[in-house]
Amino acid sequence: MNSPILITGAGQRIGLAFAKACLEQGQPVIASYRSYRPAVDALQKAGATCIHADFANNEGVDEFIEALRKKTDDLRAIIHNASDWLPESDDSEPADVMNAMMQIHAMTPYRINLACRSLLENGDSPADIVHMTDYVVEKGSAKHIAYAASKAAMANLTLSFSRLLAPRVKVNSVAPSLIMFNPGDSGDYREKALKKSLLAIEPGESVAVKTIQFILDNPYITGRTLSLDGGRHLA
């Protein structure tokens, strides 16, 4: 059948890497992006269907769902990758940070999963939902409290949706720690971040691509979180 895979936040970094890997294998892709970049044009040229979406409020989520349903009647998988890594800070209102984090990491996948259940059930079997969570779900984060809480909520969505959608749809999380730095990360920050895991490397997007693909290829994993953290829990 070759139903498309939906990847949210595919305009850069991990989401873009997974979208490219799918297209290289002939796997149809529907990619959501918020900020336009030349990479979005490149995805479209490579055959992806790209849909602009800002999930900052429910109107934006529902507009996206409406646009998605006009593009396809079925889905092979949904990869909930879109994310903002907001810290607490003196110049931001804590309630605004928590609301923004819960909106992108919990409300958005919750609404999309419920609205797109029939698309997954119409697609190739078994279908998949993958939530991109974070190592901090296990340990918390003193500097990204709301972010960690919202990713924990996302991780719980994996448990509930795996119960709701089995056996037709598998639902899992990938919990990365450091995968790739951001351009503005200082040398001091990078040095400290690398020391937080046993393997002490910045692996890059490919390890996330491999992990998501492993989940999609495995018919007997659901309701689980795969840790992708270089042994950070033992460092």
Ligand X SMILES: Nc1nc2c(c(=O)[nH]1)N=C([C@H](O)[C@@H](O)CO)CN2
Ligand Y SMILES: NC(=O)C1=CN([C@@H]2O[C@H](COP(=O)(O)OP(=O)(O)OC[C@H]3O[C@@H](n4cnc5c(N)ncnc54)[C@H](OP(=O)(O)O)[C@@H]3O)[C@@H](O)[C@H]2O)C=CC1
30 binding ligand Y? (CB under 6 A): no
DSSP codes joined into one string, 127-144: EEEEEE--THHHH--SS-
In angstroms, the Cα distances linking 180 to 1, 13, 215, 229 are 34, 8, 21, 11
When CB distances are held under 5 to 8 angstroms depending on the partner's kind, the choice from ligand Y, ligand X, none that residue 55 binds is ligand Y
Is-contact 11 33, C-beta < 8 A?
yes
Q: Which of the residues 181 through 200 are near ligand X (CB under 6 A)?
A: 182, 193
In angstroms, the Cα distances linking 26 to 23, 47, 74, 120 are 5, 9, 17, 19
Q: Which of the residues 69 through 98 are near ligand X (CB under 6 A)?
A: 83-85
Task: Point out which span in 67-75, 118-126, 176-184, 215-223 binds ligand Y (CB under 6 A).
Answer: 176-184
When CB distances are held under 5 to 8 angstroms depending on the partner's kind, the choice from ligand Y, ligand X, none that residue 54 binds is ligand Y
225 binding ligand Y? (CB under 6 A): no
189 is catalytic: no
The whole-angstrom separation of Cα 223 and Cα 160 is 8
Task: Point out which span in 70-78, 155-163, 175-183, 213-221 binds ligand Y (CB under 6 A).
Answer: 175-183
The burial class, CB within 10 Å (0-12 / 13-18 / 19+), for 225 is middle
Interface map 158-177 toward ligand X (x if CB under 6 A): -------------------x
The contact set with ligand X (CB under 6 A) reads 83-85, 134, 177-178, 182, 193
